[in-house]
């Protein structure tokens, strides 16, 4: 996907998140984020948006902490969120392609990284906001484009879980396969006592396979929905649930 597509997705998803949060109300519980209410979700996502904006707008070339969570609620909180989201979208859209700033996952450029990361961040949290409208997470209609979902799985496996801090590890080497059934996309994840190693394709026999539509797999791997299909050793699916959280 191109940077402009990620920015467009970020724009749409942020607006959808705000609409769902407003409809649910800031007191509503967020089933996909146990212990959170909508106000926590909106404060967190809005803080991340401002944090990301600062790197691109102010050209920080090393890590800088975020501003912290605002002491706002209700209409004021939603206005604050919408303003920060709009500034992030406008900053990314107006930044030069070669902007030099800090980033933390492999990408063609810092701008490409931030557009991609914030599009996925906001999409997952849009789903969280919609879960606060009622019903169980598995009953919510998945509205994630297939190509975007595939990219998000790539980012999760080749980015976040290629880092030393990934806790998805096994004492005995095991192989986890992820298969998107609505597009020709398969990932093989080798698990051991070291960092997970992911490859595209069926490059080894799998001990466990997670399969389903790309959009559902994407949200499942982010621990937002049950896995649509599990075959083989279910303990690896449980391991992912218990150890894959990204902080």
Biggest distance spanned by C-alpha atoms of the chain: 53
- Among 1.10.260.40, 3.40.630.30, 3.30.1050.10, 1.10.3720.10, what is the CATH number of 163-243? 3.30.1050.10
Centre a 10 Å sphere on the Cβ of residue 132 and count the other Cβ atoms it contains.
Answer: 24
Residue-wise DSSP of 203-242? -S--SEEEEE-HHHHHHHHTTSS--S-EEE-HHHHHHHHH
Q: How far apart are CA 190 and CA 192, in angstroms?
A: 7
What is the distance between the alpha carbons of residues 65 and 241, in angstroms, rounded to a whole number?
28
Q: What is the pLDDT along the chain (247 residues), one digit of tens a residue?
A: 999 999 999 999 999 999 999 999 999 999 999 999 999 999 999 999 999 999 999 999 999 999 899 999 999 999 999 999 999 999 999 999 999 999 999 999 999 999 999 999 999 999 999 999 987 777 777 889 999 999 999 999 999 999 999 999 999 999 999 999 999 999 999 999 999 999 999 998 999 999 999 999 999 999 999 999 999 999 999 999 999 999 8
Per-residue burial over 8-41, b if 16 or more Cβ lie within 10 Å, else e, is bbbbebbbbbbebbbebebebebbbbeebbbbbb
Which residue is it, tokens 């063609």? 108
In angstroms, the first-to-last Cα distance of the chain is 25
Question: Domain limits of the chain?
Answer: 3-139, 163-243
Q: Quote the pTM value.
A: 0.97
What pLDDT is stored for residue 135 in this prediction?
72
Taking the domain 3-139, which CATH number applies?
Answer: 1.20.120
**d(C-alpha 162, C-alpha 156), whole Å:** 8
Q: Which residues, listed in sequence order, are joined to residue 174 by a DSSP beta bridge?
A: 191
Strand 185-191 versus strand 174-180 pairing type: antiparallel
Categorise residue 201: left if φ over 0, alpha if ψ from -120 to 50, beta otherwise.
Answer: left
- pLDDT at residue 247 in the model: 80
């Amino acid at each position: 996907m191109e940077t402009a597509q990620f920015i467009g997705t970020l724009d749409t998803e942020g607006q959808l998140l705000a609409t769902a949060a407003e409809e649910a109300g800031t007191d509503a519980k967020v089933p996909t984020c146990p212990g959170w209410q909508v106000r926590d979700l909106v404060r967190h996502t809005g803080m991340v948006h401002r944090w990301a904006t600062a790197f691109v707008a102010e050209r920080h070339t090393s890590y800088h902490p975020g501003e912290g969570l605002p002491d706002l609620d209700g209409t004021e909180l939603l206005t604050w969120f919408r303003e920060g989201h709009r500034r992030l979208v406008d900053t990314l859209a107006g930044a030069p392609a070669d902007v030099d700033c800090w980033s933390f996952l492999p990408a063609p450029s810092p701008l490409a990284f931030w557009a991609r990361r914030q599009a996925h961040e906001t999409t997952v949290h849009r789903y969280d906001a919609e879960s606060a409208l009622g019903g169980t997470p598995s009953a919510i209609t998945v509205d994630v484009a297939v190509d975007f979902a595939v990219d998000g799985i790539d980012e999760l496996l080749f980015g976040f879980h290629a880092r030393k801090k990934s806790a998805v590890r096994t004492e005995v080497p095991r192989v986890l396969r992820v298969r998107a059934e609505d597009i020709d996309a398969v990932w093989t994840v080798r698990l051991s006592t070291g960092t997970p190693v992911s490859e595209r394709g069926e490059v080894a026999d799998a001990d466990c396979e997670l399969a389903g539509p790309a959009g559902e797999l994407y949200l499942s791997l982010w621990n937002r929905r049950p896995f649509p299909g599990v075959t083989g050793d279910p303990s690896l699916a449980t391991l992912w649930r218990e150890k894959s959280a990204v902080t």
